[in-house]
Amino acid sequence: YVTSSIDQWPEIQQSLPVLTPDHLNVIPDEERELIRAAIINGDLDMIDERISMLAVGFPEIAGRLKELLKSFRLDQLNLLFKINQNS
């Protein structure tokens, strides 16, 4: 298990801001719901596909979501898409 500080990579810190659920409000409701359903179902391929589709209109958001997915931070995706443990 390796940990490191984000401060070691200032360019990443600047290009990938911390997302909040409010940032996702720019994504159309239907697309947010499709991603949300994929997260609930644990369908990593579908999550990846839906996030990739966002890159056209929302490259910064898509990039940050993709980083969370690649690092298996499903807990953070749950929080961003307002998915509680009982969904």
pLDDT digits (tens, 9 = 90+) for 10-51: 444 345 467 889 889 999 999 999 999 999 999 999 999 999
- 3-class secondary structure, 21: helix
Kindly state the DSSP code that residue 18 receives in the 8-state scheme: P
Better pLDDT: 55 or 87:
55
Neighbours of 68 (CB within 10 A): 20
- Provide the percentage of residues in the chain whose pLDDT is more than 70: 76
Overall pTM > 0.85: no
